[in-house]
Structure 1
């Protein structure tokens, strides 16, 4: 069984036991999170697609870690103008493990 869920404005295809990195969520580590924005649920019988979400479907996940990704260097400049700027950015994320899909 698999599900297509929407978390943080992005869509993920998940199965039980999958570990995914999503946008930062307001949840403590080792806590459980319920995702109710399930777009589709698929199993042996077929695919159940919601409009926009499948009713009474939810995905239970466990928060493993809150952290930041590796640093990305952003360098902007204007040629022949002696103007340049160097910045760094670390995107926060939440690492979750899918425990149960219920439709």
Structure 2
């Protein structure tokens, strides 16, 4: 299966996960578009790892007052392996 990196999911590593909020389902010539979600579509995935993304630096600056501040942020991420995608 395919691996996806997304925002942190509250599930332990190596555990199975079921996602029911599917927006689009394509199977060959069959295309189902959700409004807002596809009814009966299920994605089963496995949590491979948890980690943190690349560091982003944010700088603030105020003119004429010598005020400068730099902070950093790393987003919490989860890597999922997609096992199956099915729809009724």
Higher relative contact order (CA 8 A, sep 6+): 2
1:82 and 2:61 correspond: no
TM-score (norm 1): 0.79
CA distance in 1 between counterparts of 2:59 and 2:35 reads 43
Runs of 4+ in 1 over 3 A off after TM superposition: none
Q: Report what 1:33 is aligned to.
A: 17
1:22-64 CA distance string (max 9 Å, x none): 1111010001110100112111232011221111110000000
In 2, Cα distance between the equivalents of 1:45 and 1:25? 32
**Structure 1 partner of 2:45:** 61
- Whose radius of gyration is greater, 1 or 2? 2
Aligned to 1:14: none
Q: Which runs of 5+ in 1 are unaligned?
A: 1-16
How many residue pairs are counted as aligned between the two chains? 87
> More displaced, 79-88 or 93-102?
79-88
